[in-house]
Amino acid sequence: MPRKNINRTPPCATTTTQEYNMATTEQPPTPPGTAPPDMRHVTVAQGRSWPLPPGNLAAPVLGHGTLLVEYYAPRGSDPQQPHTRDELYVVIAGSGHFVTGTENGGVRHPFGSGDVIFVPAGVVHHFEDFTDDFATWVVFYGPEGGEPA
């Protein structure tokens, strides 16, 4: 199933405010696009354990204004499509290749734990040949269409 394009100002249509803010199941809902004052830190264990919203491959864990942080750990293949906002990946674990573009099969970039990868809005990209432990934070930010260069 393709990854839903949930990189709009959160929360998205399939994500409740409570799911979006990720504090705990006891956390009261907060206004869209904000995170509770005490929710400024999310551990990898929290991201890994949070249930995915229906139809999504990534779990929203933090949000503030236009900022949306997700935990993303595809298994087997990465079916994502280009996004409408700029995004940053911070690789938590694993290694593989990050592919950008479509011409001649795209350009492959090796990646590993701790790497940071930037993708402008609208650019075709995906992860390939990644290890079973691959996981990354995905940070969406800025306006639809991306920020000017």
Q: How confident is the model at residue 88 (pLDDT cuts 50, 70, 90)?
A: very high
State the pLDDT at residue 15.
35
Q: Is the pLDDT of residue 104 over 90?
A: no
> pTM to 2 decimals?
0.73
Q: Please tell me the distance from the alpha carbon of residue 77 to that of residue 82, in angstroms, as a whole number.
A: 15
What domains appear along the chain, each with residue ranges and CATH number? 17-141 (2.60.120.10)
Torsion sign (Cα): 35, 81, 13, 49? negative
Which residues are within 8 A (CB) of 64 and not within 5 positions of it... i.e. 6 or more apart?
33, 34, 35
State the pLDDT at residue 22.
39
Lookup result for tokens 């940070």: 139
Q: Is the pLDDT of residue 135 over 50?
A: yes
Q: Please tell me the distance from the alpha carbon of residue 82 to that of residue 29, in angstroms, as a whole number.
A: 30
Which residue would you say has higher pLDDT here, 47 or 119? 119
